[in-house]
Amino acid sequence: MLEVTGLSKTYKTAKDEVLAVESLSFQVKERDFVTLLGPSGCGKTTTLRCVAGLEVPAKGEISIAGDTVFSESQRINVPVEKRDIGIVFQSYAIWPHMNVFENVAFPLKSRKGISRQAIQERVREALRGVRMEELMFRPAP
């Protein structure tokens, strides 16, 4: 399960601070499919980047599978490579030399201890979940 509690993130600009995410809380149970939906600039990508460890939140807590990976109050900030989570970016940030399957598999291949067969099964399941299984060997761009 993914649990986010009281997540806030600000960015400093040359003139002031911009509040990108304010006091966001949600849970995603294992095998649930969730969509972050909202207008441009509302904090969707910032939230995902905080969960993945690519951004450091200002406040809140993030737990993945029961392990706290970020807590401002407890001074915990687990590095991105130890969070047991992957992120596949939108089209402008995917690997253009890889097909859809390879792009989705990329985060799993960088982890130790996952067999080739397990990677194939997880990628197929993920693509099936978003109804893209028939596109898995299509070029990404």
What angle do helix axes 116-129 and 100-109 make, rounded to 10 degrees?
130
Q: pLDDT tens string for the chain (141 positions)?
A: 999 999 999 999 888 999 999 999 999 999 888 888 888 889 999 999 999 999 999 999 999 999 999 999 999 999 998 998 877 766 566 788 899 999 889 888 877 788 999 999 999 999 998 888 999 999 876
Alpha carbons 130 and 82: distance in angstroms, whole number? 26
Alpha carbons 109 and 119: distance in angstroms, whole number? 7
Alpha carbons 52 and 49: distance in angstroms, whole number? 5
Alpha carbons 32 and 34: distance in angstroms, whole number? 6
Q: Write down the pLDDT at residue 57.
A: 98
The 3-state secondary structure of 25-49 reads EEEECCCCCCCCCCCCCCCHHHHHH
Buried b (16+ CB within 10 A) or exposed e, 68-91: ebbbbeeeeebeeeebebbeeeee
Q: Write down the pLDDT at residue 141.
A: 66
CB-facing half-sphere around the CA of 139: CA atoms within 13 A: 3
Residue type (1 letter), 9: K
Q: Write down the pLDDT at residue 112.
A: 79
**Residue 116 is encoded by which pair of tokens?**
């080739």
